[in-house]
């Protein structure tokens, strides 16, 4: 009986626009949270805001504090926003010792349709049916990844370039957010955007916290690089020794300007610096890392083109 219900919930009965449903806490998401290097104060602020959502909203009238249950993470691509949002869902559930929390992941792109009026309808159904039902069943966290697709800035839209359908979809999101905020204090949206200027101002104004996730600074670059090399060291012990090299700080300095994803990919590029190293990654050197970091930065400053 229980198994059947689990299968239904996770796979068969997945409503349109919901990419994934999972029970929280989920230790894998905890590991994801820990893997993202970010100022501890920012991480603590995120956890506190998410906790407050579930302690306060059921008890305090919205005329006192008009919380909507929305946290928005904005920042350049590759800075860990999606990972942080998933990890935060886990950490929040963990703070309430489970409590029957669930995480729904919305796939905004699956909702947009070329047929006029369909997107608005899909958005309304998703919020008023699927999400409302989940929230009625227990504490629910919803990941709205790349929310600019759903809540696009209406003031910047030309009707030729952007179909009126998207305009209506943004309206639908706002209407539904207000309705859900009223009826479901056990609901928290975690939204992310790489392009905050593309998110509708009325959406941003409904967010209880907008946090800017920055590019890693010099120290954070060093920590990401070292953790990446140590992770590889579990399989390739010689790579695990590189963080102790006296030249590792030069590599870290060379990474400033790259996002966290780019730093980890740069390490893969260094492992691919020659066919011999690719066949035997333990041959990678600090010089390979320095060269790969320089190349990654150069391609970035030239708008993605390699020099």
Ligand X SMILES: Nc1ncnc2c1ncn2[C@@H]1O[C@H](COP(=O)(O)OP(=O)(O)O)[C@@H](O)[C@H]1O
- Residues forming the site for ligand X (CB under 6 A): 35-38, 77-83, 192, 216, 224, 259-261, 264
Q: Which does 79 bind (CB under 5 to 8 A by kind): ligand X, Mg ion, none?
A: ligand X
Tell me how far, at minimum, the Cβ of 150 lies from ligand X, in Å: 16
Q: What is the DSSP letter of 284?
A: -
Tell me how far, at minimum, the Cβ of 2 lies from ligand X, in Å: 32
CA separation for the pair 113, 273 (Å, rounded): 43
Residue number with CB closer to Mg ion (25 or 108):
108
Tell me how far, at minimum, the Cβ of 13 lies from Mg ion, in Å: 26
Q: What are the tokens at 74?
A: 């904005």
Q: Which does 216 bind (CB under 5 to 8 A by kind): Mg ion, ligand X, none?
A: ligand X
Q: Are the C-beta atoms of 204 and 72 separated by less than 8 Å?
A: yes
Beta strands 70-74 and 18-23: pairing type? unpaired
Residue number with CB closer to ligand X (172 or 292):
292
Tell me how far, at minimum, the Cβ of 228 lies from ligand X, in Å: 8
Query: 213: exposed, middle or buried (C-beta count within 10 Å: 0-12, 13-18, 19+)?
Result: buried
**Positions that interact with Mg ion (CB under 5 A):** 82
CA separation for the pair 111, 30 (Å, rounded): 29
Q: Which does 36 bind (CB under 5 to 8 A by kind): ligand X, Mg ion, none?
A: ligand X
Tell me how far, at minimum, the Cβ of 209 lies from ligand X, in Å: 17
Residue number with CB closer to ligand X (172 or 224):
224
Q: What are the tokens at 238?
A: 């010689």
CA separation for the pair 131, 180 (Å, rounded): 9
Tell me how far, at minimum, the Cβ of 232 lies from ligand X, in Å: 13
Residue number with CB closer to ligand X (77 or 100):
77
Residue number with CB closer to Mg ion (82 or 120):
82
CA separation for the pair 154, 80 (Å, rounded): 27
CA–CA–CA angle 12, 88, 218 (5° rounding):
130
* 3-state DSSP assignment of residue 74: strand
Please state, in angstroms and as integers, the Cα–Cα distance from residue 139 to each residue in 75, 186, 203, 287, following that order.
Answer: 27, 5, 22, 50
Q: Which does 83 bind (CB under 5 to 8 A by kind): ligand X, Mg ion, none?
A: ligand X
Q: Which does 102 bind (CB under 5 to 8 A by kind): Mg ion, ligand X, none?
A: none
Tell me how far, at minimum, the Cβ of 153 lies from ligand X, in Å: 20
Q: Which does 168 bind (CB under 5 to 8 A by kind): ligand X, Mg ion, none?
A: none
Q: Give backbone dihedrals phi and psi of 59, rounded to 5 degrees, phi first.
A: -110, -25
Handedness of CA 119, 120, 122, 126 (dihedral sign): positive
Q: Which does 207 bind (CB under 5 to 8 A by kind): ligand X, Mg ion, none?
A: none
Residue number with CB closer to ligand X (81 or 154):
81
């Amino acid at each position: 009986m229980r198994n059947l219900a689990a299968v239904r919930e996770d796979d068969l009965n997945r409503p349109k626009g919901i990419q994934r449903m999972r029970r929280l806490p989920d230790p894998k998401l905890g590991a994801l949270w820990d893997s993202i290097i970010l100022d501890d104060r920012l991480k603590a602020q995120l956890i506190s805001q998410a906790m407050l959502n579930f302690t306060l909203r059921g008890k305090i009238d919205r005329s006192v504090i008009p919380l909507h249950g929305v946290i928005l993470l904005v920042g350049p691509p590759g800075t860990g926003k999606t990972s942080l949002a998933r990890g935060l869902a886990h950490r929040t559930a963990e703070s309430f010792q489970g409590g029957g929390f669930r995480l729904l992941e919305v796939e905004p792109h699956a909702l947009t349709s070329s047929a006029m009026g369909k997107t608005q309808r899909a958005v309304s159904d998703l919020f008023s049916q699927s999400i409302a039902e989940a929230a009625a069943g227990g504490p629910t966290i919803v990941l709205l990844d790349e929310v600019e697709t759903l809540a696009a800035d209406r003031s910047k839209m030309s009707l030729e370039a952007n179909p009126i359908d998207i305009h209506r979809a943004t309206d639908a999101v706002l209407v539904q957010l207000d309705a859900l905020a009223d009826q479901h204090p056990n609901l928290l949206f975690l939204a992310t955007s790489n392009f905050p200027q593309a998110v509708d101002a009325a959406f941003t104004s409904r967010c209880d916290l907008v946090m800017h996730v920055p590019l890693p600074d010099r120290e954070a670059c060093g920590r990401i690089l070292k953790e990446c090399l140590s992770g590889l060291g579990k399989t390739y012990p010689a790579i695990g020794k590189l963080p102790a090299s006296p030249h590792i700080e030069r590599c870290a300095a060379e990474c400033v300007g790259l996002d966290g994803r780019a730093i980890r990919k740069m390490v893969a590029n260094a492992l691919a610096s020659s066919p011999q190293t690719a066949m035997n990654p333990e041959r990678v050197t600090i010089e390979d890392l320095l060269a790969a970091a320089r190349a990654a930065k150069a391609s970035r400053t030239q708008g993605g083109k390699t020099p």
